[in-house]
Structure 1
Amino acid sequence: MNSIDEAFSSVKQYCRKEGRISEAAMKLWIDIMKPVQLDGSVAVFTVQSEFQKTVVMNTYNALLKEAFLNVLGLDVKIQINVVTPEENDNPLSENSNAKDYDELARRHEELEHSFEGANYEYTFATFIVGGSNEFAYAACTAVAKEPGKNYNPLFIYGPSGLGKTHLMHAIANQVHENHPEYKIIYVTSEEFGNDFLSCINDNNMARFHDKYRNADVLLIDDIQFFSNKERMQEEFFHTFNKLHAEGKQIVITSDKPPKELKTLEERIRSRFEWGLITDISTPDFETRIAIIRRKAELLDLYIPDDVAEFIANRLKTNIRQLEGAVKKLKALKHLAGSPPSISMAQSVIKDILSDDQPAPITVEKIILEVADVYGVSPEDIRSSKRSSQISTARKVAIYVVREITQMPLQAIGTEFGGRDHSTIVYSISNIETAMKHDDHLKQLVEDTIKNIRNKSHA
């Protein structure tokens, strides 16, 4: 094997290891490239059609350049030439060029649209199993093996950063590998909502229904953000019913179990109980060590035991922080030219905990959030309008501002259109009293406060 073949073999291995391209796409686009020349600044390949060249250059050029740089240390330009094969030399003969072009286009279109939103890096193989997540992991592998058969819907809940999203993508990737013909949709609740609103604005709900109600597997992340969005919940309810009736798999995640999602309609919460509900909790020390080791292995980084234990003892609640620490260690190792040490780990942890400090929560941010929940404008909340909906939204916003910011009451009054001290006191007292007797309002206010704080950490 000559040097260019060996180099390209290493590049392809890197692409597969990175997980940013599916195996189907690798075989369809990258494996068919023929390496011709590598002179240090240009890597030359040939393919058999203009369409193949266009797809590779538009979609995978950056990944290939990254692979050459990381594997071989070469910052190369990717050059692709189209070479028409000889008659009968392979299936893409001159007599079949048009037919094969159409077939490639069709396969590319299917590949693009049958698997929307998933991250190829998140697989079951890269998920670390421990006591905190083993039941959820087992449920997800069962669903991926036979979608629509075992646990439908599957509902996974737990705090942010513990692997719920990883498991959803792992399900999507496994199902796609086993059933490439399946239409798989992964979205966050926000993306679902944006699609819904876009189709309403375009007066084209058929597009929305075609996307979501024809899915073979539908995965929706962080469904708690459907709270108090009645039209969106209505649309999700009918989508759920259609998919479930047809035996299509539904997977949902949230930060809390269905029974605690008081601002979701009861009929939706009850449907989540048709299947399996499982949780993920904070990883124990051994699992945290294993996560650090696996991430280091993927990054080809050796971390001494004392350094791994130091990190695991200080970053206890969030897997993303652990993985981020390993990435930062690799960068420091590269800059310092020495292996990871305790002092490096101290610097990394300091940066991570500093980065994790929440952004300031302003009165404007709170008013925007409450206005969105109640379907009014920020101007309405600050105005003198007295409709029931606006008045309630205003009092909730005042209560939340006081709860989060602890601003003086006079200052709060100034922020809300110059209202006096007694009006602010009344608003806060009114909401406090109402929350004692109205569980729905209590849940709404608590969710609003939580959402605002979560966004400040984003």
Structure 2
Amino acid sequence: MDSINEVLEAVKAYCKEKTSDATYAFYIKDIKAVSFENSNTITLELRSEFVMKIVSDRYTALLKEAFKAILGFDVEILYVAAPPEDGEKADGSADQRDEKSLPSGRYDFTFENFIKGPSNQFAFAAAQAVAANPSGAYNPLFIYGPSGLGKTHLLNAIQFEIKKNHPDFNIVYVDCEMFTNETISAIKTATMEQFRQKYRKADVLLIDDIQFLAGKESTQEEFFHTFNTLHNDGRQIVIASDRPAKEIKSLEERLRTRFEWGLTADIQPPDFETRVAIVKRKAELLNLDLPNDVAEYIANHLKQNIRQLEGAVKKLNAYYMLEGIEPCIGVTTTAIKDTLNDSQPIPVTIEKILNEVARTYNVMPADIRGKKRNANVSAARQMTMYIIREVTGMSMEAIGQEFQRDHSTVVYSIKTMEENINRDQHLKEMCSDIMKNVRT
């Protein structure tokens, strides 16, 4: 990469894959690069003192991981706040007001803006009950369903409602990736007590994408004790997952049973009428006049994922704003063509596999690609090669080139992993969970 800005854009893309849309939009998207000095120190500019403090406290580990993945070496990060704009205090209180009244900076993640239908009505009602009576309704509340159907929206809506009615509550909202990264960082820096205080003093804990806990033994141990502490103290826990707890194969049984202590609510893909309503609502929020036939065309062709529906509407709005092209069936056909034909490029898939295996085995992605031969890294490398072969169908030669190993090494690694999986049920379940997480 030729410039610091190109590196930063790649870092942002990496972070976007590992955070919720709301977190990315509010904290990561607007980061600017100031300088890159002494070969390993990068200075980043945040839009306010408030946002700078949040990013420094919560997302430094993720940013460092991203820079390491992009550059191949560790960096130190310094932060500065942008000069306040007119009407904004130097401490960034405008941002603080926004976050307090509108969770994660997303104005639309509220119960009022959640489009209800038969596929999500039960989960919606359960979320409302929890928000109205934290710890007194269902604890824990476990919401599950495929990616892109509104789980994150409901978690944010719960957060918004509780914060509005109980401004003194300590609410912690985190995705499982960040919880895992913070656990690893706390272990490495001997700061476990601060880490535990953060989570075990919460009045409400909301955690997204819990399926990524699978196979991560140290993280599961910490979450188990965090869960017990909060539940025993009568604190509210809300969990979201892309699958039921019983289908997270390498999740410890003691956690699986605890997730099922309260209420489990699923979200299914929306029916046609709900999809039309979602499309029209997204268009309304963008002040885009969308004809009924266009809304129905989108709803008929994009059936599984609400994010795809929103993306189609945004693309039509871009056509209108940038080129003055009114929404019509012909334009819509072009707008959703890429989505209908979407398939994840193999290089992206490989990186997802590499990162997920690295987190599961608690090693660095660079170590898996590198020459280290200790037992844990070697096992992670064999698992990575095996899953790449299973998921992408790449040839042994191509996998060898990816890891700078010869063909015989790849053959041996994959054969060894196959044999280990066949005789070790726990390893088989771990492998299954990793592949499911990669395909999410």
> TM over 0.5: same fold?
yes
1:449 aligns to 2:440 (yes or no): no
Aligned CA distance change for structure 1 residues 267 and 116 (closer, same or farther; 3 Å): farther
Q: Which residue of 1 aligns with 2:128?
A: 141
Gaps of 5+ in 2: 1-21, 23-46, 52-83
Matched residues in 1 for 2:369 and 2:105: separation? 39
Equivalent pairs counted in the alignment come to 360
Matched residues in 2 for 1:108 and 1:183: separation? 18
| Residues 173-209 of structure 1: per-residue CA shift (max 9 Å, x gap) | 1111111111111111112223333334443333222
Could you say which structure has the greater relative contact order, defined with CA pairs below 8 angstroms and 6 or more residues apart? 2
SS state of the match for residue 250, structure 1? Answer: strand
Q: Which residue of 1 aligns with 2:229?
A: 242
Name the Cα RMSD after superposition.
3.5
Picking from 251, 254, 258, the partner of 2:245 is 258
Q: Which residue of 1 aligns with 2:12?
A: none
Q: Which residue of 2 aligns with 1:323?
A: 310
Matched residues in 1 for 2:167 and 2:107: separation? 14
Q: CA deviation at 1:128?
A: 0.7
Q: Which residue of 2 aligns with 1:155?
A: 142
Q: Which residue of 2 aligns with 1:333?
A: 320
Q: Which has the larger radius of gyration?
A: 1
Q: CA deviation at 1:296?
A: 1.7
8 Å Cα contact 1:301/1:330 also seen in 2: yes
| Residues 28-54 of structure 1: per-residue CA shift (max 9 Å, x gap) | xxxxxxxxxxxxxxxxxxxxxxxxxxx
The amino acid across from 1:193 in the alignment is T
Q: Which residue of 2 aligns with 1:439?
A: 425
Aligned CA distance change for structure 1 residues 306 and 436 (closer, same or farther; 3 Å): same
Matched residues in 1 for 2:88 and 2:227: separation? 48
Q: CA deviation at 1:432?
A: 3.3
SS state of the match for residue 303, structure 1? Answer: coil
Matched residues in 1 for 2:327 and 2:124: separation? 31
8 Å Cα contact 2:248/2:433 also seen in 1: no
8 Å Cα contact 1:398/1:412 also seen in 2: yes
1:226 aligns to 2:213 (yes or no): yes
Aligned CA distance change for structure 1 residues 398 and 360 (closer, same or farther; 3 Å): closer
Identity, in percent, stands at 51
Matched residues in 2 for 1:428 and 1:350: separation? 37
Aligned CA distance change for structure 1 residues 247 and 152 (closer, same or farther; 3 Å): same
The amino acid across from 1:438 in the alignment is D
The amino acid across from 2:167 in the alignment is P
Q: Quick check: 338-347 or 302-311, which moved more?
A: 338-347
Q: CA deviation at 1:210?
A: 2.6
Matched residues in 2 for 1:57 and 1:399: separation? 45
Aligned CA distance change for structure 1 residues 310 and 364 (closer, same or farther; 3 Å): closer
Q: What aligned pairs does 1:255-404 form with structure 2 within 5 A after superposition?
A: 255-337=242-324, 339-353=326-340, 356-361=342-347, 366-376=353-363, 378-379=366-367, 383=371, 385=373, 387=375, 389-404=376-391
8 Å Cα contact 2:231/2:237 also seen in 1: yes
The amino acid across from 1:161 in the alignment is G
| Residues 127-148 of structure 1: per-residue CA shift (max 9 Å, x gap) | 0111111111111111111010
8 Å Cα contact 1:115/1:176 also seen in 2: no
8 Å Cα contact 2:50/2:95 also seen in 1: no
Matched residues in 2 for 1:109 and 1:301: separation? 30
Matched residues in 2 for 1:386 and 1:109: separation? 47
Q: CA deviation at 1:57?
A: 8.4
The amino acid across from 1:259 in the alignment is K
